[in-house]
């Protein structure tokens, strides 16, 4: 089965209905002989708009810190601000 993802979506579709063609990630997971945990199978799609995100969203240390704090609060681990490392301090080596 082949899909041409370079073609524009059907303009008759409502915003958010133009999804990737073919089986969903959930469909693929359900084909696995080992049952996945229920949390993996949950779906809660909500159309959040189609505007471009600013480049700084991916590169801003301030956004990274705010997102990390938000995720820590949501997970309930209360560790925001502790045991964290500045983004610039994390490097990779190819030696």
pLDDT band at 36 (very low <50, low <70, confident <90, very high): very high
Residue 33 contacts residue 39 (beta carbons within 8 Å)? no
Q: What is the pLDDT of residue 1?
A: 57
- For the chain, the C-alpha Rg in angstroms (whole number) is 19
Question: What's the whole-model pTM score?
Answer: 0.40
Four-residue CA torsion sign, 65, 66, 69, 71: negative
* pLDDT tens digits, one per residue of 39-71: 888 887 788 887 888 888 889 999 999 988 888
Q: What is the pLDDT of residue 71?
A: 87
Cα 70–91–67 angle (5° rounding)?
Answer: 10
Residue 69 contacts residue 80 (beta carbons within 8 Å)? yes
């Amino acid at each position: 089965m082949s899909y041409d993802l370079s073609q524009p979506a059907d303009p008759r579709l409502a915003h958010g209905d133009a999804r990737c063609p073919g089986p969903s990630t959930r469909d693929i997971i359900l084909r696995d002989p080992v049952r996945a945990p229920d949390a993996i199978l949950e779906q809660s799609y909500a159309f959040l708009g189609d505007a471009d995100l600013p480049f700084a969203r991916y590169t801003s240390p301030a956004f990274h810190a705010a997102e990390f704090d938000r995720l820590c609060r949501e997970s309930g681990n209360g560790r925001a601000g502790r045991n964290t490392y500045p983004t610039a301090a994390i490097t990779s080596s190819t030696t």
